Amino acid sequence: MASGTQPAGRPAPAAGGDPAADLRARIVLSWLVEPGHRIIHSLVERYSATAVLDFARAGDLPEPRLRESVAARLRAADPDRVADAALAGAARLGADVLTPGDDAWPAALDDLRHLESTARDGNTRPPLLLWVRGEAPRTLLGGAGVAVVGARACSPYGSHVATDLGYGLAERGWTVVSGGAFGIDAAAHRGALTAGGATVAVLACGVDRPYPSGNASLFERILATGLLVSEWPPGAAPHRHRFLVRNRVIAALAAGTVVVEASPRSGALATLRRAAALGRVAMAVPGPVTAATSTGCHLALREEPGARLVARAADVIEEVGRWGADLAPLPRGRETVLDRLPPDAAAVLEVVPPSRPAAADAVSGAAGLPVRTVLRVLPLLVDLDLVRAVDGGYVLGPRRP
């Protein structure tokens, strides 16, 4: 629950601020205006949530559009009953509500304060609060997380890769952050859960009714070891635009965002761009260039400055992790005996004929090496079965390249 402690770097709330009143005001404001609103967030930071709620009720908000939409909501329901219902619903679920004053509040979300809003998407300010449900400690939200996101309509390849990534990240102690959708989101959570890891699903609706219901058993598993998180109170419906608003929270919570599969117009790419704009690591998994499901990933890797290609969990951890400690080993082909041959021996091996034996001086001429060098390295090649000594010279042996 909201504590009265004062987060560093934030202006002091109005004198005599009451934590319970602050919390109720934040709940009501999050219902009156969709989360992330630039003006509402600025006013709350400058005055306090209770003061801004008073402005709203008095019709004293700037901008006619904002005033009108708030007035319409106020006509539709009583704010006190909204707050009561939300808190009662959370209590029934064992859900908490966190506000920026709480110890468990993920400080990473405050970075959203500096995100440049665009005309198309102005709701990018930090949440006023978070509803949190699940058995994991709330501090999980402030821990080391990687967002794994992507298309709902993913391919079997994308599902496989997302599951693998989720597993690999959880196995190495990273929290997987994602939405709750079918496809990539669900696969990433499943992978992490299979590895015994904790995952965080950030929802665009109330934590009491995680959407889509087809993922109900997955949400049950997430609740058992991880967290469901939302800016919207219990009972809130997953309106379409809320997914885009929600995406900024996924991008901000995690140290980096991986897109596994996406179309060029996917919301997952919007999350990736948000992550990059927040100074987080933007990553994408490649796929066949012949698959429409990977075109968004390839687009991001071509066009998004700083976007990094990742092929496996170790790559992701290398990108988001501490340099050095988490450096991924370079994939290498199998080393063969040929790779370990001294240069002279390799040069001799090149010119030893496959069937008709050549004498040492013929080998010398062909290799461009002195005869004594050739005579020195031939026994090594014979020992390795790369060359066979026969009457009258040398031919390639049973372990020939």
User: DSSP character for 151?
Assistant: -
- Applying CB under 8 A, among 130, 136, 227, 369 the residue interacting with its own copies is 369
Q: In angstroms, rounded to a whole number, what is the distance separating the alpha carbons of residues 133 and 325?
A: 33
Burial class (CB in 10 A: 0-12, 13-18, 19+), 219: buried
Pairing status of strand 393-396 against strand 387-390? antiparallel
Subset of 11-40 contacting its own copies (CB under 8 A): 32-34
Residue 322 engages its own copies in binding (rule: CB under 8 A): no
Q: Of 62-91, which residues contact its own copies (CB under 8 A)?
A: 68-73, 75-77
Nearer to its own copies, 69 or 225 (CB): 69
Task: Count the neighbouring beta carbons within 10 Å of the beta carbon of residue 39.
Answer: 15
| 329 touches its own copies by CB under 8 A | no
Q: Which of 146, 162, 245, 285 binds its own copies (CB under 8 A)?
A: 285
How many CB atoms are located within 10 Å of the residue 103 CB? 11
Q: Which of 290, 324, 355, 356 binds its own copies (CB under 8 A)?
A: 290
Tokens of 371: 């005869």
User: Does 257 engage in binding with its own copies (CB under 8 A)?
Assistant: no
Q: For residue 32, give the amino acid letter.
A: L
Site for its own copies contains 51 (CB under 8 A): no
Non-local CB neighbours of 255 within 8 Å, separated by 6+ positions: 144, 145, 146, 280, 281, 320
Strand partners, 284: 259, 309
**Given 287, 321, 393, 397, the residue binding its own copies (CB under 8 A):** 287
Contact with its own copies (CB under 8 A): which of 53, 301, 314, 386? 301
Q: Nearer Cβ to its own copies, position 68 or 385? A: 68
- 260, 186 contact by CB (below 8 A): no
Contact residue for its own copies among 8, 15, 330, 356 (CB under 8 A): 330
Query: Look-up: residue for tokens 């968004």?
Result: 296
Question: Interface residues with its own copies (CB under 8 A)?
Answer: 32-34, 68-73, 75-77, 157, 160-161, 239-241, 263-265, 285-290, 294-295, 298-299, 301-303, 308-312, 315, 330-333, 346-347, 350-351, 361-362, 364-371, 373, 401
